[in-house]
A and B are shown apart, each in its own frame.
Chain A
Amino acid sequence: MFDLTRKYRQGTLLSVLVIFLLLLTLAAPAFAMSGGKVTVDRDTGGQLTRFTFAATTGADETVSRIDFLFPEGFEVSKARVDVTLLEGLKRIDAIYERRIDPQTGVVTVLFDPAVPPGSNLFMQIREVMTPIAGGTYVLPVEYRLLGDSAETTPRAIDGLSFKYKTPPREEVISRWLDGQGWVTTWNNVKFLNLFLKPQQFVRAVPLLFAGWLMSLALVLSAFPISIIGGLGTAFMKMSKVPPVRWLASIYINVIRGTPLFLQIFVVFIGLRTTGLRFPDFVSAIVVLAFNSSAYLAEIFRAGIQSISKGQFEAASSLGMSYWQAMRYVIIPQTVRRVLPTMTSEFILLFKDTALFAAVGIFELMLRSQNFVSRSGNLTAYVVAALYYLIITIPLINLVGRLEVKLAQSEHGVAAPTIKRRDRRTPALLSGPDFDTTAAKHESR
């Protein structure tokens, strides 16, 4: 009982409040056009935009004309106008005429018959070209009543504003491309449209840049660690102590004998399930460094063993210890010899960063994949390829030049054929002999 009365009382209180508020809002239109509001259907500038204007005419106003005074920079010459008029909830036919002054940016709508008082007015001004620069713009709207003479100062609705953002540069270029004849012709070729659509290209370049940086960061962080790890492992492999040698062998063989893809999954998913949580970036570097160390170890070992025994004996006979001989005689020569192979290894490792797409690291590959799946266009893959090539082509070139230099400095002594990673990209790993002779002929 008690509860019921209380609910009832609350209900009446609420209704009274609502009615009061309604009266408040209805009270205002008695004097002027009210509830004016402008919205735009685009969130960036520089494109054809639809403006929506809504207002209620005052109770004593019979509106015969509305002027929209677009600010400077707005292109209205192609503007079209739609009007919907409601009297209460009843739609009434609006008969109107549209006038445009492209010079001043004024869009005028003349109503005949005039809009009756208390009408809800919805107007759409379509195909207005907005300036690119974003910000908050004020749109002054003026109106005149039936019977006002030309001299009467028009009434104004103040404070109508709308805003949008400046589009990113690639967006602007892409839109510009949309309007170019050659682009249309280009895109009419199915293949070009699918793989090299200019608009997609322009959009993909900045979007994939971050991925490129990520890929680079991964390999640049991992590689120095691999060099140290590889050297350490190489010396372990050459150790006089059998168990140390075995340990190195097992490590090298397991890493080289299994796909990097698998190693990535083991570390990422394995670590997650054991509850050890590292940042993905750190885990990725760990896998890369672990993987690459094994390959570098073999490259270093082969390089060290390719130095003639006489070098070590000469150093020893001068009283140098094993490590002195290594440090001052063997390693410096090894570095020169393995530099080309090491560079090739770096190239491979850089490309291998693509595998991290599978575990959700936003490197180049994953970004391009996302872009492609969103746009349904393959151009992003081409952009990604270019990003890889920016790094790999100069390095491939460098490998060739290093090999020539090495061969020359060793005076006809053939560069050591160090076993290279056999699994990928044979083009990269063409034999040093071939490369060297080819380049030698060139340099003559």
Chain B
Amino acid sequence: MTQPVVRIVSLHKSFGALEVLKGVDLEVQRGEVVVILGPSGSGKSTMLRCVNHLEEPTSGEVWLQDVQINAQGANVNKVREHIGMVFQSFNLFPHLTAKGNVMLAQRKVLGRSEEEAARIADEQLAKVGLSDRADHYPSQLSGGQQQRVAIARALAMDPIVMLFDEVTSALDPELVRDVLEVMKELARGGMTMLVVTHEMGFARDVGSRVVFMDGGVIVEEGSPEQVFDNPQNDRTKDFLGHIS
């Protein structure tokens, strides 16, 4: 087996006295789309945020390829360059246009030239279908458009892996499709993805693996067919029963 893109080993995370992650182990191979399911408060977001060190693990290891991001003295910023993250709340920079959003980190972090950053921004915005919105400010865009700009912004950094945390949850239903379409396209292109979502259709169609979390641990994982059609764990059954 080749080296996994992301490797999580015995991950524990506590907020004060509250232990949110109680020993998570997960390996994500190149090109895999791992869909993470689970009830609210089960620690999905926290796990995802530990991957790019927005949360500092209490114990355990988080690896991006051969770099341990939570090691003493690790260059966190450097590792983050290679991990794209898309948030539920978009978090576009409101003082910059769509194109400005996509260009900023290319310029300041990767040190790309103005022209190159602009060219890549145009490419990425075209990919998410927003070429005609390049000069719009976030406040002038719909939620779905904003989220697609956020995806373009992350992709412009040429990430090794993309993290999606309930990226469609804040969207009106009619806008969800466009965003999911972009994500599907991305998966088809071979991007390694960790996706927290409640979109079961997407999980079934796109997911190469489904991980079910509850109470800060992974209680079940397998192919979408296994998990959706023949869940083994009671909590998974219960959860899926509630959803569908």
User: Which of A192-200, A254-262, A321-329 lies at the interface?
Assistant: A321-329
Interface check A411, CB cutoff 8 A: yes
Give every chain B residue within 8 A of A320 (Cβ-Cβ).
77, 105, 108-109
Contact across chains for B78 and A319 when beta carbons are under 8 A apart: yes
Separation of A107 and B55 alpha carbons in the complex (Å): 103
Determine whether the beta carbon of A317 is less than 8 Å from that of B83: yes
Are B54 and A317 in contact, CB atoms less than 8 angstroms apart? Answer: yes
The verdict on B154 contacting chain A, using a C-beta distance below 8 Å, is yes
Q: Does B87 reach chain A (CB closer than 8 Å)?
A: yes
| CB pair B54 A319 closer than 8 Å | no
Write out the residue numbers on chain B whose beta carbons fall within 8 Å of the beta carbon of A315.
Answer: 93, 105
> Do A310 and B89 touch across chains, with their CB atoms under 8 A apart?
yes
Contact at A313–B109, with CB atoms within 8 Å?
Answer: no
Residues of A within 8 A of B108 (CB): 320, 324, 328
Q: B80 touching A314 by the CB < 8 A rule?
A: no
Query: B236 near A: Cβ within 8 Å?
Result: no
Chain B nearest Cβ from A73, distance in angstroms: 68
How many whole Å from A423's CB to the nearest CB in chain B?
32
Q: How far in angstroms is the closest Cβ of chain A from B51?
A: 10
Note all chain A residues with C-beta closer than 8 A to B91: 308, 310-311, 313-314
Where chain A touches its partner, the secondary structure class is helix
> Distance in Å from the Cβ of B149 to the closest Cβ of chain A?
11
- Asked whether any CB of chain B lies closer than 8 Å to the CB of A104, the reply is no
Could you give, for residues 77-108 of chain B, a 1 whenever the CB lies within 8 Å of some chain A CB and a 0 otherwise?
11011011101010111110000000011001
Q: Are A317 and B139 in contact (CB under 8 A)?
A: no
Task: State how many angstroms separate the Cβ of B156 from the closest Cβ of chain A.
Answer: 9
Q: Knowing A310-B89, A313-B87, A411-B139 touch, does A318 contact B95 (C-beta < 8 A)?
A: no
B85 shortest CB reach to chain A, Å: 4
Chain B contacts with A in 223-237, Cβ cutoff 8 A: none
Interface residue? A410 (CB, 8 A): yes
- Which single residue of chain B is at the shortest CB-CB distance from A321? B77
A420 is an interface residue with CB less than 8 A from chain B: no
B47 sits at the interface (CB 8 A): no
Of A308, A321, A328, A333, chain B has the most CB atoms within 10 Å of the CB of: A328
Judge if B218 is at the interface, Cβ distance under 8 Å.
no
Q: Please, which residues of chain B bring their CB within 8 A of the CB of A308?
A: 89, 91
Across the interface, which residues of A come within 8 angstroms of B153, CB to CB? 318
Chain B residue total in the interface (Cβ 8 A): 27
Determine whether A336 belongs to the interface, using a CB cutoff of 8 Å to chain B.
Answer: yes
For residue A332, CB closer than 8 A to chain B, the reply is: yes
**Bound complex: CA A319 to CA B89 (Å):** 19
By beta carbon, the residue of chain A nearest B104 is A328
Whether a CB of chain A sits under 8 angstroms from the CB of B211 is no
B94:A333 contact, CB within 8 angstroms: yes
Assembled-state Cα–Cα distance A333/B95 (Å): 6
Cβ-closest chain A residue relative to B89 = A310
Query: For B70, what are the chain A residues with a Cβ–Cβ distance below 8 Å?
Result: none
Contact A316 B54 (CB under 8 A): yes
Question: Shortest beta-carbon distance, B109 to chain A, in Å?
Answer: 4
Whether A318 and B157, one on each chain, are in contact in the complex, defined by CB atoms closer than 8 angstroms, is: yes
Q: What's the Cα separation between A317 and B89 when bound, in Å? A: 14
Q: Given A310-B87, A316-B54, A317-B83, do A409 and B139 touch, yes or no (CB 8 Å)? A: yes
Asked if B81 and A319 sit within 8 Å, CB to CB, the answer is yes
Q: Which residues of B contact A310 (CB under 8 A)?
A: 87, 89, 91
Contacts of B94 in A (CB 8 A): 333, 409-410
Residue pair B80, A311 in contact (C-beta under 8 Å): no
Contact of A319 among B137, B139, B150, B157 (CB under 8 A): B157
Interface pair B80/A317, CB less than 8 Å apart:
yes
User: How far does the Cβ of B221 sit from chain A's closest Cβ, in whole Å?
Assistant: 25
A324 to B95, CA, bound (A): 15
Q: How many Å from the CB of A240 to the closest CB on chain B?
A: 13
Q: Which of B52-93 contact A (CB under 8 A)?
A: 52, 54, 77-78, 80-81, 83-85, 87, 89, 91-93
Residue numbers in B under 8 Å from A321 (CB-CB): 77
* Cβ contacts A291-308/B at 8 Å (1 or 0 each): 000000000000000001
With a cutoff of 8 Å between Cβ atoms, the chain B residues found around residue A324 in the complex are 108-109
Tell me the complex Cα distance, A311–B153, Å. 13
Chain A residues in 8 Å Cβ range of B104: 318, 328-329
Cα of A328 to Cα of B87 in the assembled complex, Å: 19
Residues of A contacting B83 in the complex (Cβ-Cβ under 8 angstroms): 317
A316 to B87, CA, bound (A): 12
Which residue of chain A lies nearest to B80 when distances are taken between CB atoms in the complex?
A319
B150, closest chain A residue (CB): A314
Name 21 interchain pairs, CB-CB below 8 A, sorted by A. Answer: A310-B89, A310-B91, A311-B91, A314-B91, A315-B93, A315-B105, A316-B77, A317-B54, A317-B154, A318-B81, A318-B105, A319-B78, A319-B81, A319-B157, A320-B108, A320-B109, A328-B104, A328-B108, A332-B95, A333-B93, A410-B139
| Chain B residues with a Cβ under 8 A of chain A | 52, 54, 77-78, 80-81, 83-85, 87, 89, 91-95, 104-105, 108-110, 137, 139, 150, 153-154, 157
**Given contacts A310-B91, A319-B157, A332-B95, could you give 5 more A-B pairs where the C-beta distance is less than 8 Å?**
A310-B89, A318-B109, A320-B108, A324-B109, A410-B94
10 closest residue pairs by CB, A with B? A319-B81, A318-B105, A314-B91, A310-B91, A317-B85, A319-B109, A411-B139, A319-B80, A332-B95, A319-B77
Binding site for B on A (CB under 8 A): 308, 310-311, 313-321, 324, 328-329, 332-333, 336, 409-411
